[in-house]
Chains A and B, each alone.
Chain A
């Protein structure tokens, strides 16, 4: 019983450990000191309240992105577009944040969050509808939307919504009435994200709605037989996924950056995939996965300063970890595990068609 409960944890932990080991070897090969790198990460990510808060702030949008990917995967959909949905969520909430200054905080903040959620959900809704009604694969549509939305937010931040009299393209600062503060040193946005992880877990694992999504994801023909609307579940899952990403963007703008700046979270969408797979598509496991990656991301300047390492070493380590999780056979072989002792196998692909 005891080992059975440990098993689901074993694979991702082993994957991260092996990836870190390989990362250390790369650091050595690059002529730097792994010890210095480890120290840099520790100092930057965990030494003192400010460092921890910074780590959690980095982890916040990652958590949302990971949850967004998970909601899709449960229904058999791969939302690669969390990136773009996050960006629109971030810029629209920032716009509402500076434009609607003067509203009382109790109205302003929730309104900005809602606007972020809606604007993240909208592009995902489009992808879901195209998938459900026209059979266009969501991977293609969300990728196309990523590029479109990156360009759109770029243009907004450097054009109509640009802060006047500034050389860089960014929006004006968000009014105080829409800012999310820290509570007892913890960023409120992170607490919101953790709460959201539990909400998503409950919805997916304990409700009839979650059962519908999972049935469509596992066997859409059986779902059709059982009278579950495949199209409805597809659209619902994509919309919910986009809403989570949009909320993540809004939290980033309102709670961390304080405005919208293009490029502040490039690569977030892919980090979301990494986190979702590291967490083995389990909403609650996203919390530690996001904190881990947040810590690595938070330490990038320290890595450069203390260990003279390009901060992209983090991407390399994450890519290796992801690879090990996606292809558990490599790990089994490396660690001589008994076959069947770690089942991950997430299946998404049913071909390009409907």
Chain B
């Protein structure tokens, strides 16, 4: 890169020594050390909850370490806020983009460091600088576009330009591929390589093995908050990395009998659904789920999965097509009516939809059944009956809580999810719709939830699992539908398909 000073050749660009961070009694990071050199791509690999986020938040000044030190260019630095980190040449692209939706690309890029003329923002110069950076690194964006109108991939490019504009020599990418299509991911990896060639040091955080194998010069593996290994991709393979990452050979597949599908329970024909902004998110969607089978829906986030689940469960108006439940047309029914027909729904966002945080565990366990006979009579709630029911459920579904009267938001994420699973799977249902059933949940709870889904299947329910995690779908499903641009792009038999084959369809290859 022109004009960039040459640092001390011996000292790494960024170095962490013995970083430790605790939250209460939980140790998020313990004695973590790593080095990043100029022009290098460092892969930071680890499962959800391995401590990757905490580590990079310390490197970006969002958390302060309890002990250990951070060095930039060989010198110890104190990062008290993102402002300090930016000042040291550290840039970060967050997993959830930190862009102001109503402002333009150029305004977002220069925010907080605006070029000025006579104390006014110099818009022309801002646009020119964005243009220049965008051409230099092949990051195509329109400086005058409003951010909320851009696709996800373009928003990510804006984030990268934002960091580069601030003179970042160290770029931290937090799970950058989580929201991208495989094509967009390839594009991102190309940009990463180009940036590294230009002298930028990059920390690339992911839990996807293939990406680190492709992009990283060196891989640091985190597990339970500690560094458990540091390898060059050339010296290992995906299986080796996976073993390091989970600490045992990967057996996500759970023991289950082959499916014995019965009659069709859910039949969707030509379904059309709009998203929150009125755009058609699901179009021409066809699917059949039979009793006693688990159908997985794979796909890159934002291809209509969320809208599909909400439409089936009556939470979102359907614009066209029809949904049949055991041959009854339920297309026009609301959430409550569909629930009453025996449809269980584990919603994608547990804090937004699944729970009322201020309610007791007992009340949340009857959130959508509070007025059913047994829990209420003549419009009066039977609170003692609800409490007895809740006490039984928290044992049966292993929900760790101080008691059924404790507020739900005092529970850990995994236990909150188990609470929802308990509520939804504790009654006889003909159809279970589970959207991202294990998102942000610890490994132990993941296995438990998967077993519960299989148990529901074995009791004769039709189960539809929508997930962004291919491994999860391969583990629990009997058949896997790949969703792309709002419709089913391909259907596979889960027993014989590989994740590569699914990934190919997710990314745009022709279906079967």
Contacts and interface: CB of A to CB of B under 8 A. Distances in A.
The reply to whether chain A is a binding partner of chain B is: yes
Interface of A: 206-209, 211, 215, 218-219, 221-222, 224-228
B341 to A, nearest CB: 12
Contact of A221 (B336, B353, B379): B353
B334 interface: yes
Given A218-B358, A224-B315, A225-B353, A208 B367 contact: no
Interface in B310-345: 314-315, 334-337, 339, 345
B429 to A, nearest CB: 15
Interface stretch (B54-62, B368-376, B456-464): B368-376
B356 interface: yes
B367 A226 contact: yes
B455 to A, nearest CB: 23
B380 A215 contact: no
B315 A208 contact: no
Contact of A222 (B355, B376, B380, B381): B355
Nearest 10 CB-CB pairs, A to B?
A: A227-B336, A226-B368, A227-B335, A225-B353, A208-B371, A219-B356, A218-B356, A221-B352, A226-B367, A208-B376
Given A208-B381, A222-B355, A225-B345, A215 B367 contact: yes
B380 A211 contact: no
B379 A225 contact: no
B350 to A, nearest CB: 10
Contacts of B336: 226-228
Interface of A is mostly: helix
Instruction: State which size class the interface on B falls in.
Output: 20 to 34
B309 to A, nearest CB: 11
Given A215-B367, A219-B356, A222-B356, A227 B380 contact: no
A37 B256 CA distance: 80
Nearest to A211: B370
Nearest to A203: B379
Contacts of B115: none
Nearest to B345: A225
B354 interface: yes
Nearest to B372: A208
Contact of B368 (A206, A218, A221, A227): A227
B360 to A, nearest CB: 12
B315 A225 contact: yes
23 contacts: A207-B379, A208-B370, A208-B381, A215-B359, A215-B367, A218-B356, A218-B359, A219-B356, A219-B357, A221-B353, A222-B353, A224-B315, A224-B335, A225-B315, A225-B347, A225-B353, A225-B354, A225-B368, A226-B335, A226-B370, A227-B334, A227-B337, A228-B336
Contacts of B352: 219, 221-222
A224 B334 CA distance: 10
Interface in B362-397: 363, 367-368, 370-371, 376, 379-381, 383
Contacts of B383: 206
Contacts of B345: 225
Most chain B CB within 10 A, of A208, A211, A225, is at A225
Contacts of B379: 207-209
Contacts of B359: 215, 218
Given A206-B383, A211-B370, 19 more contacts: A206-B381, A207-B379, A208-B370, A208-B380, A209-B379, A211-B371, A218-B356, A219-B352, A219-B357, A221-B352, A222-B352, A222-B353, A222-B367, A224-B353, A225-B335, A225-B345, A227-B335, A227-B336, A228-B336
A228 B370 CA distance: 11
Nearest to B369: A226
A31 to B, nearest CB: 48
Contacts of A226: 335-336, 367-368, 370
B358 to A, nearest CB: 5
Nearest to A222: B356
Contacts of B354: 222, 225
A302 B332 CA distance: 66
Contacts of B363: 211
A208 B372 CA distance: 10
Given A221-B352, A222-B353, A224-B335, A207 B381 contact: yes
Contacts of A215: 356, 359, 367
Most chain B CB within 10 A, of A207, A209, A222, is at A222
A227 B368 CA distance: 7
Most chain B CB within 10 A, of A208, A221, A224, A227, is at A227
Contacts of B353: 221-222, 224-225
A221 B276 CA distance: 13
A226 B345 CA distance: 10
Contacts of A219: 352, 355-358
A111 to B, nearest CB: 27
Contacts of A224: 315, 335, 353
B91 to A, nearest CB: 31
B337 to A, nearest CB: 8
Nearest to B363: A211
A218 B357 CA distance: 8
B478 to A, nearest CB: 27
Contacts of B315: 224-225
A163 to B, nearest CB: 45
A120 B353 CA distance: 34
Nearest to A223: B356
Contacts of A218: 356-359
A179 B453 CA distance: 66
A218 B409 CA distance: 12
A227 B352 CA distance: 14
Interface string B475-508: 0000000000000000000000000000000000
Contacts of A227: 314, 334-337, 339, 368
A314 B238 CA distance: 75
